[in-house]
Amino acid sequence: MQKFFLKFRFFCLTFFASISVVLIVLLLHKRLVSDDAFKMTYPEVVFVNKVSIDKDLAISSLRDLIVPFLEQEKIFDVDIENMAGAIEVLPWIENVSVSRDYPNVLKIFIKSKNIIAYKSVNGGYYPISESGELLDIPVDYESGILVFGDMSEEKVIPLLKYLKKYPNILKKVSGVQFINGLRWNLFLYDLGENGILVKLDNLYEDGISKLAELDILQGILSKDISELDLRDLDKILVKQRGSYGG
C-alpha cells in the first residue's frame, strides 16, 4: 500500500510539474507576442567582401530599395526572396541573400562586384567589373587604373590579365588607352608630364614581353624618358624627356 501511495504521489507531482511547464510556455509565448517581439527593426546589412564603391553611396542606394519592405510590421511577413531580387538590380552588386534572424532582425548579405579599373566618360569616372561591364554608377576616383577609348571596357580585360604576368610592369600602369579600336597605349607612373607613354601594336603581348625584358636588362623604365614606341619591335623608338618631335 505504501508503495502505491508513493507511486501515486510521484505521478501527481510529475503531472502537475508538466502542466506548470506548459502553462509557463504558453504565458511566455503570449507575452512575447503581445510585446511585439517579432516587430521588425531596421535590417542589418552584411558585406561579405570589400565594397567596390564608396560605402555611404552603397548604403544610400540600398535604402530606397529596402524601405518598401519595412512596411510589414512582423519579420515573418516580409517576402525575403522579392526583397533580395529588388536589391540585386543595383549595378555594383554581384549577388544578394536575405535571411531572418529571429525574433526581429532581417540580415541582408551582399557580395559586390570586383572592380579592376575605372573609365573616364565625359568628365566622370565609372567602375569596370572583372567581366568587362561598365557599371552605371559614377564614383569619386582616387586611385586605380584609368581606361580611355571607345569600347575599351570590354577589350581591357585580356590586356590586364596578360599584364598580371608582369607584376613589376602592372604596378607602374596608371592608365591604358584603346586607340581606334586597334591597339593600346600604356601610361606608366602617372598620366601627366612625369609619366612614360608606351605605344603597343595590336599584338600587345609581344610588346609587353619586350618591355619587361628591356626593363630587366637595361632598366629602361628608370631612365629619363617620356615615350617608348614598341609598335615595331625591329625598330624601337625612345624619346628622351624634354625632347620634341619624332
**Residue 62: CATH number of its domain:** 3.10.20.310
- Beta strand 225-230 with 196-200 is parallel
Amino acid at 23: L
What is the structure's pLDDT at 207?
Answer: 96
Count: domains in the chain: 2
The set of cell numbers assigned to 125 is: 569616372
The contacts of residue 200 (CB under 8 Å, 6+ apart) are: 183, 184, 185, 186, 207, 208, 230, 231
What is the structure's pLDDT at 5?
Answer: 46
Question: Within a domain: residue 69?
Answer: yes
Same domain, 138 and 182: yes
**pLDDT-based confidence at residue 32 (cuts at 50, 70, 90):** very low
Q: What is the pLDDT of residues 100-123, one digit of tens each?
A: 888 888 899 999 999 999 998 888
Mean pLDDT, all residues of the chain: 84
Which residue is associated with the grid cell 630587366? 216
Q: How far is CA 107 from CA 24, 70, 104, 120, 224, in A?
A: 31, 13, 10, 35, 55
Question: Within a domain: residue 30?
Answer: no
Q: CATH number, domain at 221?
A: 3.40.50.11690
Is 0.85 surpassed by the pTM of this model?
no
pLDDT over 90 at 19, yes or no: no
Same domain, 170 and 70: no
If you average pLDDT over residues 148-165, what whole number do you get?
93
Question: Within a domain: residue 120?
Answer: yes
What is the structure's pLDDT at 188?
Answer: 95
Cα torsion for 38, 42, 48, 50, to the nearest 10°?
Answer: -170
The set of cell numbers assigned to 13 is: 507531482
Same domain, 232 and 130: yes
Q: Which domain holds residue 177?
A: 115-240
Name 126's bridge partners: 119
Last residue in a domain, options 112, 134, 167: 112
If you average pLDDT over residues 62-71, what whole number do you get?
86
16/134 Cα distance (integer angstroms): 69
